[in-house]
Amino acid sequence: MSSSESDASLEGEEDEFEEEHEAEKWVPLSERAEWADVRPLPQDDGPHPVVPILYTPRFRQTMDYFRAILALDERSPRSLLLTQEVIMLNAGNYTVWHFRRLVLQDLSSDLLEELKFIERIAESNYKNYQIWHHRRWTAEKLGSAAMISELHFTEKVFSKDAKNYHAWSHRQWVLRTLGGWEGELDFCDKLLQQDIYNNSAWNQRFFVIKNSPYLGGVQGMREMEIKYCKDAIAVDSANESPWRYLKGLFKGDNEALVRSGAVADIILQELQKSKECIFALDLLLDLLNLGYEPPHDLIKSLGLDKDMCSAFKMATFICTCLKKIDAMRVLYWDWRLAAVVNPSDG
Amino acid sequence: MHISITDLEAHSQFALFMFHGLPASAQPEDVNRLTLAYFLISSLDLLHALSRIDATQVIDWVYGHQVLPAPSLHDSGNCFLGFRGSLSVGVQFRPLGASALLHDGGHLASTYSALAILTILGDDLCRVQKHALLGSMKKLQQQDGSFTSVHMGTETDLRFVYCAVAISVILNDWAGVDTQKASKYILDCQSYDNGFGLVPGQESHGGATYCAIASLLMMGYIKVDPLSKIVSSPLLDISGLIKWCIQKQTQSGGFHGRTNKDPDTCYAFWVAGSLHLLGAGHLCNADALQDFLKRCADKYGGFSKWPGESPDLLHSYYGICGLSLLGNPNIKQLCCKLGMSIEAADRLERARNEG
């Protein structure tokens, strides 16, 4: 491809990009009286720049003035406005956010207004790390007064994207730093009612039972949570989330997992519905590897003869079944099969 | 069937095209120019197409991003003397890098990208101000073991732990990382389902899981068992971790990065790569993954996030990494933990032995 051809197609994209911003009627900084005293500072990209970006005139000029203000370290109201213009063009520029924070502090700006500004910016950038960091900084300055607004802010984001990773991180930070634990378990429940496959909400649920000062910790909540998993699994036993959550309740306590009648009940309940429930078979396999001795009804649920069935044979049988049912992972189940220990090999 | 040389040529063309200029729609990545360059240069290396660019010019351009100590003034005492992601802060281009300005400093991801590019292009790293870089990098490490990416402060998470660890490996010097603290932080990020979140308490995520495993391996906290070829560790439930990863392959053949989400090209690297690092790469369904990647490949080169979308630099690079891990004979083998070809990583190893 010749360079002229490539330039042409890139220009095409540039035009399109300009048009998006055209509606706002941008007045070049060079034509604004309040900026007449500032000499714009161009970017020096060296003699052979790699991945040069074909900046729009607006982007280039706004950055030229920002560079100038940065070099002057001018922490003024007009600088604050300029950072806003840069952020609108590139919310990923961490330098401009940093500088904005310095200006906000020096001008003793109203941080409640700043929260509103962030909300406007976030609407089109809610997956941007810098915005969330700035949000945290602002909330931290406001302290516990910001707790409600911050929880609401994440909820607003969840209403558009209930799995937004940044919003979940922010919410966990708010709970840990500013509080607000009281309603959190109900909040998780609400989101799971809306979407039982929302693994972010499952994770949050675990975060709450583990860390909330009002609940009894993972061990204390275990019984109630097993029940919660049981109900979720009954809705769809092919949903990975509640199965992982269920086993997670016993992380670091294999002995309790093997002893838990409630867990065995869930496995039995699902296998009686279908012998091909992948996650039930998988969990049963894990239990057998941990020395679990299956009761007769569980053996029967798989259609096996109770007298014929040692844990070893059962594990072998399960792996063989899983190879057929879960063909995508046939090599994995083969590997699990190879790891099943035959006690007679002693 | 592996993707043929002819089809791979389109990916080289795509990378070269982007190498020479990006459209204005890339402006939101303006401060990450070095990382964009890394995606392209590592792509071209893996595709045996590095000879089509002028390595000397690129090396000089990369060094132009190095942050040198400021002769006087302000907070350069805490400034991270690594590499800036771009020259957009207003420094003048200098072949060895420029002194820190006000509100200026290196960025961990950009520094990793810079050092990776230099290694891939065969530079001897002699012009890197190693001691200044590592000494100032140490200050980015937080009390909890995590890293912030710039000295002015940003979010801290596993991504920057990985960058600091990879930088230490490339420079063959651990003066910039408290590895014990870093490993403790990583373990704190492990979730109840055995995957890793980006920060403690967060949901397991493919990218975070890769950063965790690669960092633990490079710091020597987990090791590949010479007999089973699988990683073993007293710190982690490795079979649980393998299970988490293997379950991320969806019925479409592609991997998703979080449970119950859509598959995405880049997890052919982050998650399939995690399996690879654990010694369990052979357990995934290679044919199904390859079919998914083929569906994400654009006929004019590049990969998109999922089928039907437009290609972008990040997904194009990780698509090629995915194909490499699948053993495509026309693509160089990937050193998964370091994010460059084995050929490039071996050069580091050789230099180390000679040094």
- Cα A267 to chain centroid, rounded: 29
Tokens of A302: 């798989």
CATH number, residue B294: 1.50.10.20
Pick among A7, A53, A240, A245 to test the B interface (most B CBs inside 10 A): A53
The CB-side HSE value for A259 (13 A sphere, CA atoms) comes to 6
Tokens of A309: 């069935």
Pick among A132, A332, A337 to test the B interface (most B CBs inside 10 A): A332
Q: Looking at the annotation, which residues of A are catalytic?
A: 127
Contacts of A239 in chain B (CB under 8 A): 260
Confidence of residue B7 (pLDDT cuts 50, 70, 90): confident
Using the Cβ of B204 and the Cβ atoms of chain A, whether some distance falls under 8 Å is answered with yes
**Sequence-distant (≥ 6) Cβ neighbours of residue A34 within 8 angstroms:** A78
Confidence of residue A59 (pLDDT cuts 50, 70, 90): very high
Degrees to nearest 5, angle at CA A187 with A181 and A192: 140
Expressed in percent and rounded to 5, the helix, strand and coil fractions of chain A are: 70, 0, 30
| The length of chain A, given as a count of residues | 346
Using CB atoms, pick whichever of B29, B58, B102 lies closest to residue A73: B102
What pLDDT does residue A3 have?
A: 37
Rounded Cα gap, residues B172 and B130, in angstroms: 10
Tokens of B164: 């600091």
Among A32, A162, A26, which residue's Cα sits nearest to residue A88? A26
Contact (Cβ atoms closer than 8 angstroms) between residue A267 and residue A283? yes
Burial pattern B111-125, b for ≥16 Cβ within 10 A else e, equals: bbbbbbbbbbbebee
CA of B220 to nearest chain A CA: how many angstroms apart? 23
Tokens of B313: 């630099």
Among A71, A77, A132, A129, which residue's Cα sits nearest to residue A100? A77
Partners of B231 in the β-ladder: B224
Using the Cβ of A36 and the Cβ atoms of chain B, whether some distance falls under 8 Å is answered with no
Query: Does the structure show a pLDDT above 90 at A283?
Result: yes
Query: Does the structure show a pLDDT above 90 at A19?
Result: no
DSSP H or E run through A266: helix A261-273
CA of A248 to nearest chain B CA: how many angstroms apart? 5
Three-state DSSP state, B204: coil
Average pLDDT over residues A202-214: 97
Confidence of residue A4 (pLDDT cuts 50, 70, 90): very low
| Count of domains forming chain B | 1
Contact (Cβ atoms closer than 8 angstroms) between residue A191 and residue A154? no
Rounded Cα gap, residues B249 and B290, in angstroms: 12
- Determine what percent of chain B is predicted with pLDDT higher than 90: 89
Using CB atoms, pick whichever of A46, A73, A339 lies closest to residue B61: A46
CB contact under 8 A, A163 and B261: yes
Query: Does the structure show a pLDDT above 60 at A75?
Result: yes
Using CB atoms, pick whichever of B152, B260, B288 lies closest to residue A199: B260
CB contact under 8 A, A92 and B31: yes
Tokens of A212: 């909330």
What pLDDT does residue B224 have?
A: 87
Long-range contacts of B124-131 (CB under 8 A, 24+ apart): B124/B351, B125/B170, B125/B171, B127/B63, B127/B66, B127/B96, B128/B66, B128/B171, B129/B66, B129/B68, B129/B81, B129/B97, B130/B171, B130/B173, B131/B175
What pLDDT does residue A22 have?
A: 52
Average pLDDT over residues A154-171: 97
Q: What one-letter code names the amino acid at A171?
A: R
Rounded Cα gap, residues A82 and A157, in angstroms: 27
Pick among A7, A51, A288, A337 to test the B interface (most B CBs inside 10 A): A51
Q: Which domain holds residue B261?
A: 5-22+29-354
What pLDDT does residue B172 have?
A: 97
What pLDDT does residue A5 have?
A: 36
First to last CA, chain A: 67
How many cross-chain Cβ pairs, A to B, lie less than 8 Å apart? Answer: 214
Q: What one-letter code names the amino acid at A197?
A: Y
Contacts of A199 in chain B (CB under 8 A): 203, 258-261
Question: What's the predicted TM-score (pTM) here?
Answer: 0.95
Long-range contacts of B226-235 (CB under 8 A, 24+ apart): B228/B279, B229/B279, B230/B278, B230/B279, B230/B280, B231/B277, B231/B278, B231/B279, B235/B183, B235/B187
Residue B269's alpha-carbon distances to A27, A257, B223, B293, in angstroms, are 45, 33, 20, 11
pLDDT in tens, B63-74: 999 999 987 655
Average pLDDT over residues A67-76: 97
DSSP H or E run through B335: strand B334-335
Residue B229 or B162, more confident: B162
Tokens of B89: 């802060």
Using the Cβ of B98 and the Cβ atoms of chain A, whether some distance falls under 8 Å is answered with no
CB contact under 8 A, B20 and A89: no
Interface of A with B in 160-189 (CB under 8 A): 163, 165, 168-169, 172, 176
Backbone angles phi, psi at B341, to 5 degrees: -65, 155
Using CB atoms, pick whichever of A1, A67, A330 lies closest to residue B90: A67
Backbone angles phi, psi at A285, to 5 degrees: -60, -45
Confidence of residue A125 (pLDDT cuts 50, 70, 90): confident
CB contact under 8 A, A199 and B202: no
Mean pLDDT of chain B: 95
Rounded Cα gap, residues B79 and B99, in angstroms: 11
What pLDDT does residue A9 have?
A: 37
Using the Cβ of A219 and the Cβ atoms of chain B, whether some distance falls under 8 Å is answered with no
Using the Cβ of A40 and the Cβ atoms of chain B, whether some distance falls under 8 Å is answered with no
- Cα B149 to chain centroid, rounded: 14
- Determine what percent of chain A is predicted with pLDDT higher than 90: 82
Biggest CA-to-CA distance, chain A: 93
CB contact under 8 A, B202 and A241: no
Contact (Cβ atoms closer than 8 angstroms) between residue B258 and residue B250? no
ipTM score: 0.96
